[in-house]
Copies of this chain bind each other. A is one copy, B any other.
């Protein structure tokens, strides 16, 4: 009863897997090598830096950075050890805690950003035409659309 993938679908699927894994690995390696952090940590710092007062509630931050709460919790623990992020209690709701980017964290992020953007261009945008970039945006939006729509 299974609808197997036909040959074209098979090829597309494997290319997609290989391409997305390759990009993830390239970025991870570049950031780890040049800035001593995995890409997931970089994403966290970026979201914080874009937020008003450079701080967010843990659960918002998790959603914004495509992370599970557990992953975020562990990650922020490490980032705190390095002095890049600080946790602050929320007076209004004591279940909540804020994660705030420290000045040192911001400096580290600023130093990491150019190399990271370079890697993104090199692994993705430099390889695609303007049309393809637009197509990719549409495709990714479709993938992310909720099931019931």
Which residues of A35-61 are within 8 A (CB) of B? 43
B127 touches A142 (CB 8 A): yes
Q: How many residues of A contact B (CB 8 A)?
A: 49
A2 touches B113 (CB 8 A): yes
CB neighbours of A43 from chain B (8 A): 17
Main secondary structure of the interface of A (DSSP, over half): helix
The segment from A82-90, A96-104, A133-141 that touches chain B is A133-141
CB neighbours of A17 from chain B (8 A): 43, 66
The contact sample of 16 A-B pairs, CB cut-off 8 A, is A2-B118, A3-B117, A3-B121, A4-B117, A5-B117, A5-B125, A8-B137, A12-B140, A13-B120, A15-B140, A19-B140, A22-B66, A127-B142, A127-B143, A128-B142, A132-B135
